[in-house]
Amino acid sequence: MGLLAFVSSIPHTETALLSLFVIVLASIAVVQWFKPKLRLPPGPVAVPIFGNWLQVGDDLNHENLSEMAKKYGEIFLLRMGQRNLVVISSPELAKEVLHTQGVEFGSRTRNVVFDIFTGKGQDMVFTVYGDHWRKMRRIMTVPFFTNKVVQHARSHWEEEINSVIADIKADPDAASTGMVVRRRLQMLMYNNMFRMMFGRRFEKVDDPLFLELKRLNGERSRLAQSFEYNYGDFIPILRPFLRNYLKQCQKVKDERLILFKGFVEERQRETKVNPPSTDEKCAIDHILDAYKNGEISYDNVLYIVENINVAAIETTLWSIEWGLAEIVNNPDVQKSMRDELNSVLGPGVPLTEPDVPKLPYLHWVVKETMRLHMAIPLLVPHMNLHQAKLGGYDIPAESKILVNAWWLANNPEWWNKPDVFNPDRFAGPEKIEANGNDFRFLPFGVGRRSCPGIILAIPIVSLVLGRLVQSFELLPPPGFRKVDTKGHGGQFSLRIANHSVIVCKPIN
Ligand code: HEM
């Protein structure tokens, strides 16, 4: 039977359907033909629907991504379901993303979970690059990120670490079997930030309000950093299966905002009775001024409080905890720190914030801690709103860009024995700082979306570690040679996996 005869033998409706099918196929072919061919970065071969997800799995931590960089190079592409994920592993390309093309790559990716916690980008950390971000960053700078703020807050930081030292000395076990110092340091970090933010502190580690705050912030971190919800993020048609997970996120988010609102209102009641002078204002007073001027909404105020709770407190605490573990595990380093403190300040003279710049060895210890154990090893993911070029490749719009800052700071090609904790590596003439003056060392990122909190984090970490070393001989618990420094990674965070017991023998 000829083709004409075959077609004329098909009933009318079926002919119509067949024609439609042929037209659709032809249109797809035409679109594909004329669509500009993208030159995508290298990467493993992707399969339909799942992309590379089934090959590489969920745990895209800094170490796994470093291994892949050895195979695929300084820039590679992973297709995680519908999402494009571009991983950057060289200082040159990091410079391109964060500095040269900082505007193009200056946005943040969104996902269903972060959308809940940030009210779809009403905050500052996770919002796209644009007017809202600029306004939020400006409004947060005066109350948090200036030298004047440091000068105002530093006596509080000194009080807080002195109070920690007094509490450790009062603990009958601390000098013998040891204690989990981290538990007390956590309250120190909350107090440092809550004094800056609200002019208030927590007295006791078992204060119910403090416990509730810690619980909710812990839940927020767990839910947001987990890999459990990847499937709904990578393959949108699977999102209905995330319903329960998202419900939990919504509940934690609502409870946190109510709690934060309570702190804001408490401060508002106080300042109504006793209006603060310009010098007495704390961060929330400035932020509420911006709200009253109509610059931001009340929700924006609460999301700023949310951002400080996650971005400032945990990251700094993790760095302190890791620094402490390395000081315990490296008695020579501990001794060199103590010798420097004794010789620069004099034995028994407590370290204060203005002394920190006079203590280079202490500074190297802090930088070495942040090099080996980066709290945010992949930075906060960046994103390009529009199609862009990087390293000669086409980067599709809305790709998630991970800069593997940990690998940049731990690549044996340019770091000698990178897995060894050696503060002296920073003694060289290169003067590598944490502020991004060298693209091999970016613990705070660099450029437009870099961490503005560096101005607070470095002196706080230095002060806490320095004062502890001045006050105690810090040792592993009886029967152990070292404390555990294993890490636990999340979507883009890294913390110590186990909170170790540390023996603190007072130094007279
Ligand atoms: C050791 C402590 C800290 C570390 C390691 C750290 C690290 C980082 C990193 C890597 C980023 C992302 C940079 C990028 O995406 O390019 C970031 C962003 C940010 N950090 Fe920190 N941070 C620390 C402490 C703080 C503190 C104390 C504050 C506030 C008081 C803070 C506030 C922020 C904010 C608001 C952002 C978002 C900036 C933006 O998107 O424009 N951080 N931090």
Residue-wise pLDDT tens digits, 5-32:
544 555 666 666 566 656 655 665 555 5
Q: 3-state class of 108 per DSSP?
A: strand
Percent over 90 (pLDDT), the chain: 89
Tell me the CA–centroid distance for residue 317 and ligand 1, in Å.
13
- Residue 293 pLDDT > 50, yes or no? yes
The contacts of residue 466 (CB under 8 Å, 6+ apart) are 337, 341, 351, 356, 359, 362
More confidently predicted of 38 and 20: 38
Which of 150, 315, 319, 383 to mutate for ligand 1's pocket (most ligand atoms within 8 Å of CB)? 315
Does 136 sit in the ligand 1 pocket, CB within 6 Å?
no
How confident is the model at residue 212, as a pLDDT? 98
- Across the range 248-277, mean pLDDT stands at 97
- Across the range 126-139, mean pLDDT stands at 97
Give 365-406 pLDDT, tens digit per residue.
999 999 999 999 999 999 999 999 999 999 999 999 999 999
Atom of ligand 1 nearest to the CA of 461: 1
- Across the range 271-280, mean pLDDT stands at 93
How confident is the model at residue 59, as a pLDDT? 87
Query: Which secondary structure element, helix H or strand E, spans residue 266, and what is its range?
Result: helix 243-273
The contacts of residue 241 (CB under 8 Å, 6+ apart) are 231, 232
Give 416-441 pLDDT, tens digit per residue.
999 999 999 999 898 999 999 999 99
Does 323 sit in the ligand 1 pocket, CB within 6 Å?
no
- Fold for 53-506, please state it: Cytochrome p450 (1.10.630)
Compute the C-alpha angle 213/215/216, nearest 5°: 70
Q: What is the dihedral of CA 135, 140, 146, 152, to 10 degrees?
A: 150
Give 80-106 pLDDT, tens digit per residue.
999 999 999 999 999 999 999 999 999
Tell me the CA–centroid distance for residue 256 and ligand 1, in Å.
20
Tell me the CA–centroid distance for residue 32 and ligand 1, in Å.
42
For residue 48, give both structure tokens. Answer: 């339909």
How confident is the model at residue 34, as a pLDDT? 58
Protein residue whose Cα sits closest to atom 21 of ligand 1: 451
For residue 169, give both structure tokens. Answer: 């000395």
How confident is the model at residue 488, as a pLDDT? 93
Residue type, 456: L
Does 400 sit in the ligand 1 pocket, CB within 6 Å?
no
Tell me the CA–centroid distance for residue 453 and ligand 1, in Å.
6
Distance CA 97, CA 450 (A): 12
Does 375 sit in the ligand 1 pocket, CB within 6 Å?
yes
Protein residue whose Cα sits closest to atom 1 of ligand 1: 316
Protein residue whose Cα sits closest to atom 2 of ligand 1: 316
Query: Which secondary structure element, helix H or strand E, spans residue 474, and what is its range?
Result: strand 472-475
pLDDT band at residue 508, thresholds of 50, 70 and 90? confident
Q: 3-state class of 376 per DSSP?
A: coil
Distance CA 44, CA 66 (A): 14
- Across the range 448-453, mean pLDDT stands at 98
- Across the range 192-218, mean pLDDT stands at 97
Protein residue whose Cα sits closest to atom 43 of ligand 1: 451
Q: How far is CA 437 from CA 91, 314, 409, in A?
A: 11, 25, 13
Q: 3-state class of 414 per DSSP?
A: coil
Mark 264-274 as b/e (b = at least 16 C-beta within 10 Å).
beebeeebeee
Q: Please state, rounded to an integer, the average pLDDT across all residues of the chain.
A: 94
Q: What is the pTM of this model?
A: 0.93
Q: How far is CA 230 from CA 56, 227, 421, 494, in A?
A: 13, 5, 34, 18
pLDDT band at residue 37, thresholds of 50, 70 and 90? confident
Give 457-507 pLDDT, tens digit per residue.
999 999 999 999 999 999 999 999 999 999 999 998 999 999 999 999 999
Q: 410 near 420, Cβ under 8 Å?
A: no
Give 305-356 pLDDT, tens digit per residue.
999 999 999 999 999 999 999 999 999 999 999 999 999 999 999 999 999 9
For strands 503-506 and 472-475, give the pairing: antiparallel
Give 221-252 pLDDT, tens digit per residue.
999 999 999 999 999 999 999 999 999 999 99
Protein residue whose Cα sits closest to atom 11 of ligand 1: 451
How confident is the model at residue 4, as a pLDDT? 47
The contacts of residue 201 (CB under 8 Å, 6+ apart) are 160, 191, 194, 195
CB atoms within 10 A of CB 27: 10
Long-range contacts of 302-305 (CB under 8 A, 24+ apart): 302/257, 302/260, 302/261, 302/264, 303/118, 303/119, 303/122, 303/123, 303/124, 304/123, 304/124, 304/136, 304/139, 304/140, 305/197, 305/260, 305/263, 305/264
For residue 286, give both structure tokens. Answer: 């400035």
The contacts of residue 197 (CB under 8 Å, 6+ apart) are 263, 282, 283, 284, 305, 308
- Across the range 128-155, mean pLDDT stands at 96
Does 144 sit in the ligand 1 pocket, CB within 6 Å?
yes
Residue type, 446: V
- Across the range 159-165, mean pLDDT stands at 98
Residue in the structure block whose two tokens are 């700094």: 316
How confident is the model at residue 2, as a pLDDT? 43
Q: Is 282 annotated as a binding residue?
A: no
The contacts of residue 429 (CB under 8 Å, 6+ apart) are none
Does 320 sit in the ligand 1 pocket, CB within 6 Å?
no
Tell me the CA–centroid distance for residue 461 and ligand 1, in Å.
14
How would DSSP label each residue in 71-93? HH-SEEEEEETTEEEEEE-SHHH
Which of 107, 444, 446 to mutate for ligand 1's pocket (most ligand atoms within 8 Å of CB)? 444
CB atoms within 10 A of CB 4: 8
Atom of ligand 1 nearest to the CA of 374: 5
How confident is the model at residue 13, as a pLDDT? 61
